[in-house]
Amino acid sequence: MAEITADSIKELRERTGVGMGKCKEALVLSGGDMEKAIDVLRKAGMAAGVKKEGRETKEGLILVGVGAHHLVLVEANAETDFVVQNDRFKHFVHDCVKQALETNPKNLAEFMAQPYFKDKSITIDQYRNLVIQSLGENIQLRRLELLVRHPNSSYGIYSHMGGKLVVVVEVEGDAHSDAIAKEIAMHAAAESPDYLKPEEIPAHVLAREEEIARAQVQGKPANILDQIVKGKIKAFADQSCLICQKYVKDNALTVGQYLEAHARQIGKPLSIRCFWRWKVGQ
């Protein structure tokens, strides 16, 4: 059983909005497992809207680089926001983005072993260590992802909270709809979707939601129970899938309908091919 601390109770309270006493009971029942405790509260009907993120655990910066054929996402972490705001730290992250765009590394490990483009006598990892010595804090490149740019796609990039939250949205079907893609990226930053569309929700996630839904409607007549559960599963998909979410700037439309309206205006079929939502430490 995991230790149940004041911090874990506080985190569960922050994520569910349920009182401290009930949060402690749920953690005890779940053996200290945070996600199982959330399920306990949801089955009891006490936690409706659950935040996916708890307390911040790291400071850092996420940057997006845009090249002719690729985009690159890089997250670097430090111990304090004071260092993240330091020009030396920012310069290090910008250099990493620039080099990744030029070298197209397969993964982070390969990238860290590359010679630094401004001083080929050292690797990127050795460059990182020099920055650590200069700033006096542990600094890590946490993740790096290279995105291939498709010629018939538009890309919306939105950076929030000074680079602590970054969203990239790829809209397929037109190379000149970056503004629309950015509007959708801004929506995704605010509404935090987990999936693009219902078909992408994993089977085990749907099974968990069905279990919770059935626990919530115990005692209902059998002839309507399945319909209620089906409705709850649809509501979950509408909340967690980007194209099904109500568009933040016009709740009369879903994100999918908002994109369809723009597609009619330009006379081209459009679809969201993919999205990336990165938050520092997530």
pLDDT of residue 49: 65
pLDDT of residue 224: 87
With cut-offs at 50, 70 and 90, classify the pLDDT of residue 2: confident
With cut-offs at 50, 70 and 90, classify the pLDDT of residue 81: very high
Please state, as a whole number, how many other Cβ atoms lie within 10 Å of the Cβ of residue 250. Answer: 11
pLDDT of residue 18: 87
pLDDT greater than 90 at residue 282 = no
Multiple choice CATH, 1-53, 1.10.3720.10, 1.10.8.10, 2.40.50.100, 3.20.20.80: 1.10.8.10
With cut-offs at 50, 70 and 90, classify the pLDDT of residue 57: very low
pLDDT of residue 3: 83
Q: Using CA atoms in the order 223, 225, 226, 230, what is the torsion angle rounded to 10 degrees?
A: 140
Work out the percent of the chain whose per-residue pLDDT is above 90.
Answer: 77
Q: How far is CA 237 from CA 76, 88, 175, 208, 279, in A?
A: 32, 43, 29, 13, 22
Question: In the chain, how long is the greatest CA-to-CA distance?
Answer: 74
The DSSP result for 56-121, as a single string, is: ---EEEEEEEE-SSEEEEEEEEES-HHHHTSHHHHHHHHHHHHHHHHH--SSHHHHHTSEETTEEE
* Alpha-carbon radius of gyration of the chain: 22
pLDDT of residue 219: 79
DSSP-derived letter for residue 218 is T
With cut-offs at 50, 70 and 90, classify the pLDDT of residue 44: confident
With cut-offs at 50, 70 and 90, classify the pLDDT of residue 55: very low
Q: Give the pLDDT confidence of 225-270 residue by residue, as tens digits.
A: 889 999 999 999 999 999 999 999 999 999 999 999 999 999 999 9
Q: How far apart, in whole angstroms, are the C-alpha atoms of residue 38 and residue 33?
A: 9
Q: Rounded mean pLDDT of 141-170?
A: 97
Residue 153: which residues within 8 A CB-CB, separation 6 or more? 170, 171, 172, 173, 174, 175, 273
Question: What 3-state DSSP class applies to 211?
Answer: helix
Alpha helices in the chain (DSSP H): 6-16, 20-29, 34-43, 81-84, 87-103, 108-112, 124-135, 178-191, 203-216, 222-240, 255-266
Whole-prediction pTM value? Answer: 0.82
Task: Please state, rounded to an integer, the average pLDDT across all residues of the chain.
Answer: 93
Q: Which CATH superfamily is domain 56-149 in?
A: Elongation factor Ts, dimerisation domain (3.30.479.20)
Please state, as a whole number, how many other Cβ atoms lie within 10 Å of the Cβ of residue 61. Answer: 24
Q: Rounded mean pLDDT of 130-145?
A: 94
pLDDT greater than 80 at residue 1 = no
pLDDT of residue 271: 98
Q: How do the domains of the chain map onto residue ranges? A: 1-53, 56-149
pLDDT of residue 250: 97
